A and B are shown apart, each in its own frame.
Chain A
């Protein structure tokens, strides 16, 4: 059976160029970058070169990049690092984020809330775009950070980050954006959009798992979440994963270099898939379809289809898909993103996320479209029968 992987928003295969660049640092150049001897010096050089290349890929300076263990960790460092810093100064602390953030941000905001912070959750419109009025309103509470993602991981909907960044800048409030899905799919540059903090992750762009990074604009103060040997300017202690950092830098460079052409290619494929599903499955709604979107994510709601069965049935036919975020379990629990967009939970409506990537071909899309239409139509018939 032919298998088609349409879950690139969950993770991507490591690119051969990336693996080749990493390989020496797993074995013969194994040094600890903090060591003074030649092994350490070699590792330090590689680490700092990787930092420089990653920084350049997003328009940052080398010293503004902090390597972390994941995108989730970078999001936590941004939100909770700001909150800890503000709390230390005394007085009430507010933390703001959009209602459609990745759980890494939302749960961090809720954690701060449990410790006494005021959580300001910014409403979105029915397409999932953060309401600028809500941002202005939140800014009046002087939050220690406003976190709004660049592009949504479930729907692909692009957030008005330029406008929000400008509003925050004007108000003198620190702005964080999770660009994990956006990097390599749309231009992401901190020298064009005035972000203060930006999260990126390697494994969504052909890099290895286990490494993320937080861009921290010079002059923005954060408290570390971990304490130890002072690595990463004291913001993320722990011996750095040099091989992964090297792989991340290569993956980011490639993704940014190829971004424009790849975005065009993926958007065309995504549109073809979208049309095939909407035409083949009456009643299908494209979530966020009215807003500008990342080119690689398609999220559809199909009525008359059992949410839980659909991913299993697609997997049995060789198509890898997902529903919202990977950890949202349960057939009737609608994802927080679709809920924020005003959808209501319905066990008999399946929401499916299909996400494309570098390895997705035009033939894949045509075959996947046929399979998905067939499988969903069969489930519909079984549910009715």
Chain B
């Protein structure tokens, strides 16, 4: 960093409106900004208009935005890292009967630490993303991540896995803005991405057919995709499922009909290839155990009062830490929560400060 506080910042640009505006704001603040689009997987192996990697719309949109902002733009081929750290995990988690969160894996590994490492070779001091979250120095030299000002867009939930030591070199320029403000800025700046729709699907499964994606990676005859019994908690067989990887806790669709009352997936038992179903009330739980932990503040201790969020867009629920060791944290929730899903992220907050989190066991 130069003495006047100007930094060389690498901005991860997807070609969407958020990262476009994040880059624009950093340019306005006087930083030396480098736009980077990560090529994380090969989008298609067959040639054709806009189906090839080099012609992918997102990359071209990011390049146009950078040209408009007068900053350089490069495409980093991160297929190897992304395949290893995100896709392989996505596939193996489903195969193990859990429901992974690939965006968390990408932030924790690829988008932030790997990008920082590569950025060093270009002389970059920091990495910025278009996440809706805030990152601040607390006045004592410690960096903390907070929820975004825009509560509807807040994405702090997805950031719990970032290694704590990278926080001083991480920036979230959009944290103080609302989504409508971001769009308005993009329009003011004449950015081509101003009115692009939100991306919803998992980026490497653009058609949403994740079962097809799993079949391609695991093979059609993998146990996770093999039909088996639908059972109730007491072991009564009530039907057939089409492969447990197609089911997630809380799911109602795809169970077939003809039941006297609506059934929901309660859990998946890969060892016996059973999908356990039951009534909606049976989905409620007031305890959650987390593994694969990561902390962005001092790790919690038994007896600590925190709030825990078990799903993006779910409210954070007050809870008490009842077990806290390096491998596992258990929490007692003040009130029951529906569909706590193994593999998803359990994220701890205190107020708007992100403490860290883990994977739900």
Q: In the assembled complex, how far is the CB of residue B107 from the closest CB belonging to chain A, in whole angstroms?
A: 21
A382 within 8 A of B: yes
Near B by CB (< 8 A), chain A positions 317-366 give: 327, 329-332
A113 within 8 A of B: no
CA distance A308 to B78 in the complex (A): 10
Evaluate whether A329 and B121 lie within 8 angstroms (CB atoms) in the complex, with A315-B72, A316-B34, A316-B72 already known. no
List, in ascending order, chain A residues with CB within 8 A of B75's CB.
Answer: 329
Least distance between B72 CB and chain A CB atoms (Å): 6
Q: Are A309 and B122 in contact (CB under 8 A)?
A: yes
Expressed in whole angstroms, the minimum distance between the Cβ of B82 and any Cβ of chain A is 13
As a 0/1 sequence over residues 119 to 145 of chain B, the CB contacts with chain A under 8 angstroms (1 = contact) are: 011110000000000000000000000
What's the nearest-Cβ distance from chain B to residue A331, in Å?
6
Report whether A308 and B123 are in contact in the complex, using a CB–CB cutoff of 8 Å.
Answer: no
Task: Check if B67 is an interface residue, CB within 8 A of chain A.
Answer: no
**CB–CB B123/A313 < 8 A:** yes
Find residues 42-80 in chain B having any chain A CB closer than 8 Å to their own CB.
53-54, 72, 74-77, 79-80
For the complex formed, measure the closest distance between the CB of B25 and the CB atoms of chain A, giving whole angstroms: 21
B269 at the interface (CB under 8 A from A): no
0/1 string, A183-215, CB within 8 A of B gives 1: 000000000000000000000000000000000
| Contacting pair B122 A331 (CB below 8 A) | no
Most chain A C-beta atoms within 10 Å of own C-beta, residue among B54, B77, B79: B77
> Which residue of A312, A327, A385 is within 8 Å of B122 (Cβ)?
A312
* Structural contact, B54 and A313, CB atoms closer than 8 A: no
Asked whether, in the complex, the Cβ of B118 is within 8 Å of the Cβ of A329, the reply is no
Q: How far is the CA of A308 from the CA of B34 in the complex (A)?
A: 15
Asked whether A329 and B77 contact (CB < 8 A) given A312-B122, A316-B122, the answer is yes
A312, A378, A379: the one within 8 Å of B74 (CB): A312
Residues of B within 8 A of A382 (CB): 120-121
Give residues 18-50 of B contacting A (CB, 8 Å): 34, 39
- Complex Cα–Cα for A383 and B120 (A): 9
CB contacts under 8 Å to B, within A277-306, are 306
Chain A nearest CB from B66 CB (Å) reads 12
Among B39, B53, B118, contact of A309 (Cβ-Cβ < 8 Å): B118
The distance in angstroms between the C-alpha atoms of A385 and B80, with both chains bound, is 21
In this complex, the member of B77, B118, B122 whose beta carbon has the largest number of chain A beta carbons within 10 angstroms is B122
Q: Are B53 and A329 in contact (CB-based, < 8 A)?
A: yes
Taking a contact as CB atoms under 8 Å apart, the answer to whether A379 and B121 are in contact is yes
Known: A309-B118, A315-B72. A331 touches B123 (CB 8 A): no
- Least CB separation from A378: chain B residue: B123
Chain A residues in 8 Å Cβ range of B80: 332
Q: Within the assembled complex, what's the spacing in Å between the Cα atoms of A79 and B74? A: 35
B76 pairs with A308, CB closer than 8 A: yes
The answer for the CA separation of A332 and B66 in the assembled complex, in Å, is 26
Tell me how many residues of A have a C-beta within 8 Å of chain B: 17
Residues of chain B from 71 to 125 with CB closer than 8 A to chain A in the complex:
72, 74-77, 79-80, 118, 120-123
Shortest CB-to-CB span from B126 to chain A, Å, is 15
List residues of chain A with CB within 8 A of the CB of B54. 327, 329
List, in ascending order, chain A residues with CB within 8 A of B76's CB. Answer: 308
Q: Are A330 and B121 in contact (CB under 8 A)?
A: no
Which residue of chain B has its CB nearest to the CB of A385? B120
B122 touching A313, Cβ below 8 Å:
yes
Quick one: which of B77, B120, B122, B123 contacts A330, CB cutoff 8 A?
B77
Q: A327-B54, A329-B54, A331-B77 are in contact. Are A313 and B34 (CB under 8 A)?
A: no
8 Å CB interface, A361-380 against B: 378-379
A323 to B54, CA, bound (A): 16
Contact residues in B for A331 (Cβ distance below 8 Å): 77
Q: How far is the CA of A308 from the CA of B76 in the complex (A)?
A: 7
Q: Are A383 and B123 in contact (CB under 8 A)?
A: no
Query: Which residue in chain A gives the minimum CB-CB distance to B34?
Result: A316
CB <8 Å contact, A309 and B121 = yes
**B120, chain A: closest CB distance, angstroms:** 5
Contacts of A315 in B (CB 8 A): 72, 74
Q: Judging by beta carbons under 8 Å apart, are B121 and A313 in contact? A: yes
Name which residue of chain A comes closest to B80, CB basis: A332
How long is the Cα–Cα vector from A321 to B54 in the complex, in angstroms? 19
Find chain B residues with CB under 8 A from A309 CB: 118, 121-122
Q: Which residues of A lie under 8 Å from residue B122 when comparing CB positions?
A: 309, 312-313, 316
Closest chain-B Cβ to A111's Cβ sits at a distance in Å of 12
For the complex, give the distance between the alpha carbons of A193 and B34 in Å.
49
Chain A residue nearest in CB terms to B8: A316
In whole angstroms, how far apart are the Cα atoms of A309 and B54 in the complex?
18
Q: Which of A308, A378, A385 has the most CB of B within 10 A?
A: A308
A327 — which chain B residues lie within 8 A by C-beta?
54
Instruction: For the complex, give the distance between the alpha carbons of A378 and B80 in Å.
Output: 24
Measured between alpha carbons, how far is A327 from B75 in the docked complex, in Å?
13
- Complex Cα gap A315–B34 (Å): 11
In Å, the complex CA distance between A313 and B54 comes to 20
Q: Are B123 and A316 in contact (CB under 8 A)?
A: yes
Closest Cβ–Cβ distance, residue A332 to chain B (whole Å): 8
Give 11 new A-B contacts, CB below 8 A, not counting A312-B72, A330-B79, A379-B121. Answer: A309-B122, A312-B74, A312-B122, A316-B34, A316-B72, A316-B123, A327-B54, A329-B54, A332-B80, A378-B123, A385-B120
Can you list 16 residue pairs at the A/B interface with Cβ under 8 Å? A308-B76, A308-B118, A312-B34, A312-B72, A312-B74, A313-B121, A316-B72, A316-B122, A316-B123, A329-B39, A329-B53, A329-B75, A331-B77, A332-B80, A379-B121, A382-B120
What are the 10 A-B residue pairs with the smallest beta carbon separation, nearest first?
A309-B121, A312-B74, A382-B120, A379-B121, A382-B121, A330-B77, A313-B122, A312-B122, A331-B77, A306-B121
